Amino acid sequence: MIAIIGGSGMNKLSGLEELHRQIMRTPYGEPSSPLLFGTINGQEIVFLSRHGYGHTIPPHAVNYRANMWALNALQADRVIAIASVGGIRADMIPGKIVIPDQIIDYTYDRKFTYFDGTDKAVTHTDFTQPYCPIGRASILRAARHAGESVIDGGVYAATQGPRLETEAEINRLERDGADMVGMTGMPETILARELGLSYATIAAVANHAAGRGESTQAVPLETVYTVLEESMVHVRNILEHLVQDYGD
């Protein structure tokens, strides 16, 4: 079964024929929202809204451990995370869809591992390739079948939020090799790896990062939301083909 995590711009999944909802409890508390089970093109999927259905949970307060634990308990064999990002690299302009292949973690004070109890052995998880290559390949294949243009690869910088970054901070991220910036990539990505989940991200560029683009002024939030709405049409198209390809 494919699990889809919706982020900003995708609190609900249109095209989903809802079957039932399930409230889950985990050793780490409750997930961000009830798990929504349904079908797309006849294929069963489960949907989780990362920020809650009312988009009330800020990035630093998301219960990432509960979210990923719940999806693992449901035996999801592929997790596709949707994220909105700011574009740093010149070609990552608003409206572009990116399938990142690397990540840099700048977050702090988040519950970032399942192996932090004194009753557990010290565990070092390989994170050389943070995103599942099979999951990434399935997204890229679905995008081709859907006729959607995506950027293959890019470095996601995960920042703390909920505030946006300064221009100086974006300059630093660029020097570090980051191509895009978001607030939810970590610890979600490493938690998926610790659980052995196949996890990959579809990133929708909602705006230029601070100091990038033609204008150095702050982008109005209304403009960001408009771009996200338009981008999610393309993301949903990719997801529909991804689910269809998975069932074939």
Q: Which domains does the chain have, with CATH numbers?
A: 2-247 (3.40.50.1580)
117 SS3 class: coil
Residue pair 158/99 in contact by the 8 Å Cβ criterion: no
Q: Is the per-residue pLDDT at 58 higher than 70?
A: yes
Burial class of residue 109 (count of CB atoms within 10 Å of its CB; 0-12, 13-18, 19+): exposed
Query: What is the three-class DSSP state of 34?
Result: coil
For residue 60, say whether it is annotated as part of any ligand binding site: no
Confidence at 219, pLDDT banded by 50, 70, 90: low
Strand 97-99 and strand 17-22: the pairing is: unpaired
Residues 6+ positions from 22 with CB-CB distance below 8 Å: 34, 35, 37
32 assigned binding-site residue: no
The model's pTM is: 0.93
Determine whether the annotation assigns residue 50 to a binding site: yes
| Residue-wise pLDDT tens digits, 2-54 | 999 987 666 566 667 778 899 999 999 999 999 999 988 788 899 999 999 88
Is residue 141 annotated as involved in ligand binding? no
3-class secondary structure, 53: coil
Residue with tokens 């780490």: 28
183 is in an annotated binding site: yes
The answer to the question of whether 206 is labelled as a binding residue is: no
- Report the share of the chain in percent with pLDDT over 90: 76
Q: Residue 247's pLDDT is what?
A: 63
pLDDT digits (tens, 9 = 90+) for 146-173: 999 999 999 999 999 999 999 999 999 9
pLDDT for the residue numbered 82: 96
Q: Is 124 annotated as a binding residue?
A: no
